[in-house]
Structure 1
Amino acid sequence: MPHDTPAHKRILIKLSGEALMGDDAFGINQAVIGRIVGEIAEVARMGVQVAVVIGGGNIFRGMAGGAVGMDRATADYMGMLATVMNALALADAMNKTGLTARVMSAISIDQVVEPYVRPKALQYLEEGKAVVFAAGTGNPFFTTDTAAALRGAEIGAELVLKATKVDGVYSADPRKDAQATRYARLSFDEAMTKNLGIMDATAFALCRDQKLPIKVFSIFKPGALKAVVMGADEGTLVHV
């Protein structure tokens, strides 16, 4: 395989809302979102089809006090709306870089974003557009990790990329243990036995059952996303 040929044609990136905050307490840091979008646009220009599932923790964090004591389902629907706001911001930044993006929501907000329809999402990806999936699965009690696993399986992604603040999965917290070592590869069974908490149990089981590998990497490390799609030893690969 030529060194400039991507190892993966279609990927799904699971991006937490907190990744958009930078050093802010909550909300969206424009410098951070611009840097992340720059990394995504670079791999898209290489011909990689990119889908993103975005979380909403950065927006919802600003409302956390008001959510105390709230019914769980109601709070989860509020969280879904937060993901829609993040998805709109992400798509706007993508469009400004020249990468055409479409936001698709699991809940109906027709005046703002189009509903998620699998054939339409596949069409956008084939056309070279980035697709940002918002509102999780559209159901309370399910995390955006589960939405990433579900959408990844539905669109036939070759890899789910869990974008984090650390450059992989470690034997211990590297911020607290200088002896912690990064795993280059793990099987799903090994990750479960070691209780590494890579994704929530539902998402993890779905990826395992669908034989959909997960790559954990740092979205803040320059060039890391490109290295992952090129098949380099970057981050941690979790596989069957």
Structure 2
Amino acid sequence: MRKKIYFFVSGTDTGVGKTLITGLLARYFRENKFNVITQKWVETGAGRGNCSNDILEHIKLSGASFDLYKSFLEWMSPYLLKYPASPHLSAKLENKNISVKKIERAFNILKENFDVVICEGAGGLFVPINKKYMMIDICGKLGIPVLLVSENRLGAINQTILSIEALRTRKIPILGIILNQVDKKQKELVLKNNPRVIKELGRAVILGSLPYSSDKKILYPLFSRSRIGDSIIKEYRKIYGNR
């Protein structure tokens, strides 16, 4: 029986490419014959409907059919909030309370039905979802490792190492770091230096770097050639063995 894999994709900030990376990873696992699904615990600025915009993007990037997931939408998108802000504020404006138990239940249902569950966060690790919990707290409660996506730019070293330290302080396993270039104007010297320094000072596994592209279609071949998916499986097995 195939071993199962579950992990959380967090950013070092908002807008760093978590949705893109999650979708590309879903495609990798699908093409390697894993039964894979993605999840977005909380999405703000979601508008109407019963499915997260980010979930729709995951499915599109993965190349899968939307029909495959129709019966799981309720658990793929536990919370959809209209106002584009931090989850705790968006929920307050709608007189809602985000329940960690509901997120945990949704996650466990997906775990029971799929080989791989990739959960995308909202913003960074310390984004609050209510008066008590932040995103990082849910990762700890569910006992899942974190994949960090960092925007490859000036400032990435500080943000990434702070996130690494926060996870280590809470004893949450780190699968590795993916650096994603969002802005094409970044200096080449900085882009090349960031991964090396983060690896050395953060004592972290750099899974790969993605260049800037306005066309997402050309990114998957680059993603695939860099063997990021293979590296994630390797790191996961290193942490958890063959559980």
TM-score (norm 1): 0.46
Q: Which structure's residues are more often helix, by fraction?
A: 2
